[in-house]
């Protein structure tokens, strides 16, 4: 049986998640997982580059450094798994997004992490650059995981909303009625702003379990100001990233309000994530929400989401057979399979592309 590797580093820029899986019909078998943390100096350089504070030389060097780390992560996964290298059909590498600009005359999405290095070091065919073809066809190039969600998480008996709580939150709406379109889009920030504010104010990279946010209260005036951002009212298809929702965005808004305690800002940012995700979510009597992504480990965030959506049930994708931490890397393993078998990997109704497209560039072993 063929196996596939998925490599993913999200907008939080904290490290790389790697998974080795096999697919059979609508089921996924996870054979091994592995994570690598970015060295702090590299993470800081990536953050600066994502803020347009890097020269072409620096971006090129980061492309090589990140590609090497991705390759080493894949190699560690292969060694841990004990599977025969010859059984691994391909690696799907999302890369590390530096900038995502899906609108304007020079629209683009830039991921670094040279796939040639991954193919060379692992001796496994690698598929990368998944977003470009969808954008060339008029799409946003994001989100790409809804096609995977539809294939593996669809149901004939209940409407399902897959809520991915990464640095940016996105939803995939999968109605149970056959023939009804799947929809999906980025709702706005999830962990990105909370992590950035926590790092800036406390020196900690994230607020574990939302403990710091729990010390604060929601500042309603600040929250109302945040919610006036035009992105939240924009119709789909739409996608966003840290180019828009970043520490500068937070500080600009906080300066408009007097004497807001840092912990109150953190609590308000958490509530912003909850409100923007739930308000934009389609709802139906038969609906169940399945959450995935790093935000599922934030106890306070999950508590507030559950209360906000009640009586709609909020569960983990673990209930559907896939651990929430590994959904996104598994999606890029599946997108690699789609590319290798010459099957489209996008959903035009989600991204806005002119039609289905085969995604990714192939770098042979």
Q: pLDDT by residue (tens digit) across 297-342?
A: 999 999 999 999 999 999 999 999 999 999 999 999 999 999 999 9
Q: Is there a single domain that holds both residue 184 and residue 272?
A: yes
Alpha carbon 352 to its chain centroid, in Å, reads 18
Instruction: Tell me: do 308 and 160 sit in the same domain.
Output: yes
Q: Which pLDDT tens digit goes with each residue over 90-134?
A: 999 999 999 999 988 899 999 999 999 999 999 999 999 999 999
Instruction: Kindly state whether residues 223 and 154 are assigned to the same domain.
Output: yes
The annotated binding site is made up of 10-17
Whole-angstrom Cα distance, residue 279 to residue 231? 13
Write out pLDDT tens, residues 5-40. Answer: 999 998 888 899 999 999 998 999 999 999 999 999
pLDDT confidence bin for 365, thresholds 50/70/90: very high
Q: Determine the pLDDT at residue 188.
A: 97
pLDDT higher at 45 or 178: 45
Same domain, residue pair 149 and 209: yes
Q: Rounded to a whole number, what is the largest CA-CA distance in the chain? A: 62
Query: Does pLDDT of 190 surpass 90?
Result: yes
Residue 170 has pLDDT above 90, yes or no: yes
Percent of the chain with pLDDT over 90: 94
Q: Are residues 330 and 298 in the same domain?
A: no
Alpha-carbon distance of 278 to 232, in angstroms, equals 11
We report the CATH number of the domain holding residue 16 as: 3.30.420.40
In sequence order, the 6+-apart residues with CB closer than 8 A to the CB of 99 are: 50, 52, 108, 109, 110, 241, 243
Q: How far is CA 327 from CA 4, 258, 296, 357, in A?
A: 14, 41, 12, 22
Do 273 and 343 fall into the same domain? Answer: no
Per residue, the 3-state secondary structure of 282-332, as one string, reads CCCCCEEEEEECHHHHCHHHHHHHHHHHCCCEEEEHHHHCCCHHHHHHHHH
| Spacing of C-alpha 104 from chain mean position | 23
Tens digits of per-residue pLDDT, 199-218? 999 999 999 999 999 999 99
> Looking at the structure, do residues 154 and 126 belong to the same domain, yes or no?
no
Does residue 210 share a domain with residue 76? no
pLDDT, mean of residues 226-246: 95
pLDDT, one tens digit per residue, over 123-164 is 999 999 999 999 999 999 999 999 999 999 999 999 999 999
Model confidence pLDDT, tens digit, residues 239-275: 999 999 999 999 999 999 999 999 999 999 999 999 9
Tally of domains within the chain: 2
Name the DSSP letter for residue 25: T
**Domain encompassing residue 52:** 3-141+326-363
Average pLDDT over residues 41-53: 94
Same domain membership, residue 205 and residue 136: no
Residues 20 and 121 in one domain: yes
d(CA 122, CA 118): 6
pLDDT of residue 14: 84
The pLDDT confidence band at residue 178, using thresholds 50, 70 and 90, is confident
Annotation: binding site for ATP: 10-17
pTM for the full predicted model? 0.95
Distance CA 187, CA 198 (A): 21
Q: What is the pLDDT of residue 13?
A: 87
227 burial via Cβ count (<10 Å: 0-12, 13-18, 19+): middle
Verify that 133 and 160 share a domain, yes or no. Answer: no
pLDDT computed for residue 77 by the predictor: 98
* Residues 90 and 8 occupy one common structural domain: yes
Residue 238 neighbours by CB distance under 10 Å: 21
The reported pLDDT for the residue numbered 284 is 87
């Amino acid at each position: 049986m063929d196996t596939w590797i998925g490599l993913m580093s999200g907008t939080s820029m904290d490290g790389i998640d790697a998974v080795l899986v096999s697919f059979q019909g609508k089921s996924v078998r996870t054979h091994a997982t592995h994570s690598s943390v970015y060295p702090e100096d590299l993470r800081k350089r990536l953050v600066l580059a994502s803020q347009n504070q890097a020269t072409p030389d620096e971006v090129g060097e980061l492309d090589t450094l990140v590609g090497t780390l991705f390759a080493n992560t894949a190699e560690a996964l292969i060694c841990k798994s004990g599977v025969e290298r010859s059984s691994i059909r391909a690696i799907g590498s999302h890369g590390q997004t530096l900038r995502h600009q899906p609108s304007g005359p020079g629209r683009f999405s830039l991921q670094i992490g040279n796939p040639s290095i991954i193919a060379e070091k692992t001796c496994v065919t690698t598929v990368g650059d998944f977003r470009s073809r969808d954008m060339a066809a008029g799409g946003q190039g994001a989100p790409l995981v809804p096609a995977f969600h539809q294939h593996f998480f669809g149901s004939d008996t209940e409407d399902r909303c897959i809520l991915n709580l990464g640095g940016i939150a996105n939803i995939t709406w999968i109605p149970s009625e056959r023939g009804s379109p799947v929809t999906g889009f980025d709702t706005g920030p999830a962990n990105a702003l909370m992590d950035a504010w926590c790092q800036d104010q406390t020196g900690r990279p994230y607020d574990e379990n939302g403990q710091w946010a729990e010390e604060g209260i929601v500042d309603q005036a600040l929250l109302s100001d945040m919610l006036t951002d035009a992105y939240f009212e924009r119709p789909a298809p739409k996608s966003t990233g840290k180019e828009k929702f970043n520490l500068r965005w937070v500080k600009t808004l906080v300066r408009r309000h007097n004497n807001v305690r840092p912990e109150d800002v953190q609590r308000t940012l958490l509530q912003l994530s909850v409100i923007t995700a739930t308000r934009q979510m389609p709802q139906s009597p038969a609906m169940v929400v399945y959450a995935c992504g790093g935000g599922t480990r934030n106890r306070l965030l999950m508590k507030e989401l559950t209360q906000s959506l009640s009586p709609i049930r909020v569960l983990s994708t673990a209930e559907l057979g896939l651990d929430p931490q590994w959904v996104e890397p598994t999606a890029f393993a599946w997108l690699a399979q789609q590319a290798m078998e010459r099957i489209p990997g996008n959903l035009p109704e989600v991204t806005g592309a002119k039609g289905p497209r085969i995604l990714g560039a192939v770098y042979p072993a």
